Amino acid sequence: MKPHIVATLTEARSALDALLSNPQALSAIEAAGDALVNAFNNGRRVFSCGNGGSMCDAMHFAEELSGRYRNDRRALPAASISDPSHISCVGNDYGYEAIFSRYLEAHAGAGDVLLAISTSGTSKNILAAVNAAKARGMVVVSLTGRPGSVIGGLADIDVCTPGGQYADRVQELHIKVIHILIESVERALFPANYA
């Protein structure tokens, strides 16, 4: 067997074990789930954004809420900022840094939640989205991968999941957190699905 297969899985397990033994991160995950539940209970919306693989995670998060996660229940108002026509229009007219913030200016309001995903915690367009969200009175939850990041520092709730030297381990932890957040929402709003 090629040694990198076992090494990769071992490294991933170590990253997950580190997250499990981090009380601050676990508390942040719980607080993020509570913020989502509060928003939905108050008729508000949830938005998500990220770049590259993090955009895919943002899309996955939103579709599990508006579609279905495990069992049938009503759709929840969640959207990822990933419309290609919006991104190409705003990128062309205002620059790539504005692709997420401009969307929030058009669609989001006070009490809505932004899930801002950036493995580095420094992505300029995510930072612009966080600033736009804060200006609109939104609750900002960040998913980052480096402690002390600028985006994490600005967020109301920062779920930081350091996974090692590269972003792939961080992204693997992010998808686990995303699934926990969705389950937290479902358990609170649709308890019969978990009876």
Is 92 among the annotated ligand-binding positions?
Answer: yes
Is 86 among the annotated ligand-binding positions?
Answer: no
Is 27 among the annotated ligand-binding positions?
Answer: no
Q: What are phi and psi of 78, to 5 degrees?
A: -135, 140
Helix, strand or coil, per DSSP, at residue 141 = strand
Measured CA to CA, the distance from residue 23 to residue 6 in angstroms comes to 28
Is 179 among the annotated ligand-binding positions?
Answer: yes
Is 174 among the annotated ligand-binding positions?
Answer: no
Helix, strand or coil, per DSSP, at residue 76 = coil
Measured CA to CA, the distance from residue 47 to residue 64 in angstroms comes to 13
Is 64 among the annotated ligand-binding positions?
Answer: yes
Is 10 among the annotated ligand-binding positions?
Answer: no
Is 163 among the annotated ligand-binding positions?
Answer: no
Non-local (6+) Cβ contacts of 118 within 8 A are 50, 51, 54, 126, 142, 143, 144, 145, 149, 151
Q: Which two tokens stand for residue 56?
A: 């895919």
Is 186 among the annotated ligand-binding positions?
Answer: no
Nearest in space to 134 (alpha carbons), one of 97, 108, 106, 107: 108
Helix (H) or strand (E) holding 48: strand 46-49
Measured CA to CA, the distance from residue 147 to residue 155 in angstroms comes to 13
Is 4 among the annotated ligand-binding positions?
Answer: no
Is 41 among the annotated ligand-binding positions?
Answer: no
Query: What are the binding residues for substrate?
Result: 51-53, 64, 92-93, 118-120, 123, 171
Query: What are the binding residues for Zn(2+)?
Result: 60, 64, 171, 179
Query: What are the binding residues?
Result: 51-53, 60, 64, 92-93, 118-120, 123, 171, 179
